[in-house]
Structure 1
Amino acid sequence: MTVRHCSLPPQPAPAYPPGLAAERLGALAGGRRLWVNGTVLHYCFFDGGTAGSEIAVPGAARTRWVPWGGAKEQQDVVRECFAEWQGLGTGLTFTEVRDRTEAELRIGFQPGDGCWSAVGREALRVGAHERTMNFGWDLTAPGERATALHQIGHALGMLHEHQSPHAGIHWDDESVYAELAGHPHHWSRERTYHNVLRKLAPEEANGAVWDPQSIMQDGFPPGLILEPEQYRGGVHPPGALSPADKDFVLRRYPPADPPRPPPLVPFRSVPLGLGAGEQADFRIDPPETRDYTVGTFGDADRVLVLFEERDGEPRFLAGQDDGGTPRDATVAARLVKGRRYYVRVRLYCAWGPGETAVMCW
């Protein structure tokens, strides 16, 4: 069976001001991809032939237009894989919608464009009519269900396990470049380096040890790895969620507790008391309809997100990430009496001596 590889699109590194402490930079690198817990991630599929794009024809100096739509059989594999991740009991929820402007995750099935996904919150930077995920080969073929599980792992904020600095892999670089330059990938050296040979920073890795059984570990044929010796014959992950994969999502997105968060009353600040990577949730029941501001206080790096409850589920309304900046996170929105809103604050790290708090006014 041909070994196929995930091709993540390169993303520009965030521009943080010089002089940030290593602790802050590490916390930002490890947390900036993550959604706030309790988020309902809406996904949709491109269908029909109206949406598509031009792709290069391998070996020819021309392109061809290929639609993004996929057959129901392909979509069903992805639905089943969303359900498998959901079945772990995480604090995230996946809901399928038909309106692409309502979806954080927009999925195409364009042959010839490989398999890839935006990583975590990177999806929010993608235009509302563009894909955040693509499947470029048949997911119903034997063993290819793992591809859908893998891409959803990226959407949750996971990166490639074979790029972990804890793996200790010594590649035969030129053999890797040659392998992926050929059929069926036709990758450039830059793409191969970005998706295989480049080592992640320790803070970016999915875990503190290498997990060769991870769904985020690509398979590799013999002849590409020099060390560790036991992997000279290749890496052959089972194509299922490993215990470490499950631990990753359950630690980052634990089951929502309590189900009814405490109120955030206007003009009354609430201390957060969070540790690195922890989150606090609140609800707002506006006493009157007007423009409100929700903001954090204190020397810390945080993500602040405001949701409005619609049809029984929280829908994104506004948010701000103050990570790496001296400012506090604030969002402004018109809140309507009789409706319910939720505020979620996830802490990267606190870097000052005082307490951190949240308030609406």
Structure 2
Amino acid sequence: MTARFCSLAQQPAPAFAPGLAAERLGALLGGRRMWVNGTVLHYCFFDRDSDGSVIPDPETGRTRHVSWVGGKKQRDVVRECFQEWQNLGIGLSFVEVSDRSEAELRIGFQLGDGSWSTVGKDALRVGLNERTMNFGWDLTEPGERGTALHEIGHALGMLHEHQSPFAGIHWDEEAVYADLAGPPNFWSRDRTFFNILRKLDPREVNGSVWDPQSIMEYPFSAGLILEPEQFRAGLNPPGALSEADKEFVRRWYPPAAARGPAELVPFRSVPLRLGRAGQADFVVEPPETRAYTVGTFGDGDAVVVVFEERDGEPRYLSAQDDGGTPHNAAVRVRLVKGRRYVVRVRQYSSWGSGQTAVMCW
């Protein structure tokens, strides 16, 4: 029997400035969806009767409202899975909030709409009253807890493992299209290609080796995979976090250093000295209330994110990613005297002298 599969929405390919060196482009592809380390990801569940989608009813020809609200048992499964990821000791943390305007991740339970999530920072592009994650079937059924772990993996920036070019999978493509066109998925050929047959760029996959045990791997029934030969009879990952999954997120989101962030004083630049995927954290305590610019200088691609501390917890304010352009990243944001802010700078790559710095002015 065909499993129910996660279905990611098709996104346009990223556009970078032409002529970028291969190493620089690879760093941008690999890091563009990843959060800066130390981010607190706030999540909420849709909980109002009015929260939902309006869809056509084939029986009456009219439209009807379908709720995004899930029951307590469904929500508890998702909460437990957030906790399982966090228990790995990673540098990200997850906090449930009731106010959707405070949540980077907004979770619905629309049955029949499939299970899916935005990938990493793509969640920030979604409107406050829209879902960044959906569960389309009962997570309390046997074997379905892995669905919640899988979608949270996407929210952390992970992609589908079977689409890794390192997998060496040779598909019976027409058999795959036919299998996914039927129940329970009813996918179009375009959706099947995007989520299964399409190969990812080697520079953006979860690791340099295919992990068939990954939580990001789909199960496949017999006859869909022709090569490797051992999977002709089917591929059945356990639906749990593999050792490679754990290693990947720990590498991208290592535990916070014992030493706290350095102070970033207005009009005083600080050298960064960061390698690829390196990060530096700073505290800003503005001497006056006004609009400030926080930006980088030098021969490097970076993302700059500004958080405001509220009750000792960093809340996302604004960010700028130079995205491989000739310009450095710079955030213009209003800072209030008496409040404390955290600036996180994560570097994708450097070139030339490799000398970079950050400043607030």
Q: TM-score range by the shorter chain?
A: over 0.9
With 310-319 and 130-139 compared, the bigger mean Cα shift is at 310-319
Q: Tell me the equivalent position of 1:105.
A: 105
- Rounded to whole Å, the distance in 2 between the matches of 1:258 and 1:124 is 29
Q: Tell me the equivalent position of 1:47.
A: 47
With 325-334 and 147-156 compared, the bigger mean Cα shift is at 325-334
- Rounded to whole Å, the distance in 2 between the matches of 1:316 and 1:48 is 25
How do 1:131-210 and structure 2 match up within 5 A? 131-210=131-210
How do 1:332-347 and structure 2 match up within 5 A? 332-347=332-347
Contact 1:296 1:356 (C-alpha < 8 Å) held by counterparts = yes
- Deviation at residue 266 of structure 1 after TM alignment: 1.4
The answer to whether structure 1 residue 302 and structure 2 residue 302 are counterparts is: yes
- Deviation at residue 13 of structure 1 after TM alignment: 1.6
- Deviation at residue 336 of structure 1 after TM alignment: 2.0
How do 1:223-262 and structure 2 match up within 5 A? 223-262=223-262
Q: Tell me the equivalent position of 1:213.
A: 213
Contact 2:2 2:179 (C-alpha < 8 Å) held by counterparts = no
Q: Tell me the equivalent position of 2:125.
A: 125
Contact 1:55 1:113 (C-alpha < 8 Å) held by counterparts = no
Gaps of 5+ in 2: none
Gaps of 5+ in 1: none
- Rounded to whole Å, the distance in 2 between the matches of 1:55 and 1:338 is 49
- Deviation at residue 206 of structure 1 after TM alignment: 0.2
- Rounded to whole Å, the distance in 1 between the matches of 2:260 and 2:89 is 17
Contact 2:172 2:226 (C-alpha < 8 Å) held by counterparts = yes
Amino acid at match of 1:109: F
- Deviation at residue 344 of structure 1 after TM alignment: 0.3
- Rounded to whole Å, the distance in 1 between the matches of 2:258 and 2:287 is 23
TM normalised by structure 1 equals 0.97
With 286-295 and 122-131 compared, the bigger mean Cα shift is at 286-295
Residue deviations 1:72-118 (CA, integer Å, cap 9, x gap)? 11000000000000101111110001111111000000011000000
Residue deviations 1:176-200 (CA, integer Å, cap 9, x gap)? 0000000111100000000000000
- Rounded to whole Å, the distance in 2 between the matches of 1:226 and 1:344 is 46
Amino acid at match of 1:69: V
- Deviation at residue 64 of structure 1 after TM alignment: 4.5
SS of residue paired to 1:206: coil
Q: Tell me the equivalent position of 2:270.
A: 270
With 332-341 and 24-33 compared, the bigger mean Cα shift is at 332-341
With 45-54 and 224-233 compared, the bigger mean Cα shift is at 45-54
Contact 1:58 1:186 (C-alpha < 8 Å) held by counterparts = no
Instruction: Check 1:284–1:219 CA distance in 2 against 1; reply closer, same or farther (3 A cut).
Output: same
Residue deviations 1:222-279 (CA, integer Å, cap 9, x gap)? 1100000000011100111000000011000001114521111111111111011111
- Rounded to whole Å, the distance in 2 between the matches of 1:307 and 1:322 is 18
Contact 1:56 1:62 (C-alpha < 8 Å) held by counterparts = yes
Contact 1:298 1:352 (C-alpha < 8 Å) held by counterparts = no
Contact 2:3 2:184 (C-alpha < 8 Å) held by counterparts = no
Contact 1:55 1:112 (C-alpha < 8 Å) held by counterparts = no
TM normalised by structure 2 equals 0.97
SS of residue paired to 2:274: coil
SS of residue paired to 1:84: helix
Q: CA RMSD in A?
A: 1.6
- Rounded to whole Å, the distance in 2 between the matches of 1:141 and 1:59 is 29
- Deviation at residue 319 of structure 1 after TM alignment: 0.9
Matched residue count: 361
How do 1:69-108 and structure 2 match up within 5 A? 69-108=69-108
- Deviation at residue 328 of structure 1 after TM alignment: 1.1
Contact 1:299 1:326 (C-alpha < 8 Å) held by counterparts = no
SS of residue paired to 1:314: strand
- Deviation at residue 291 of structure 1 after TM alignment: 2.5
- Deviation at residue 292 of structure 1 after TM alignment: 1.7
- Rounded to whole Å, the distance in 2 between the matches of 1:31 and 1:59 is 46
Q: Tell me the equivalent position of 2:360.
A: 360
Q: Structure 1 vs Structure 2: percent identity of aligned residues?
A: 72
Contact 1:51 1:68 (C-alpha < 8 Å) held by counterparts = yes
- Deviation at residue 14 of structure 1 after TM alignment: 1.8
SS of residue paired to 2:136: coil
Q: Tell me the equivalent position of 2:350.
A: 350
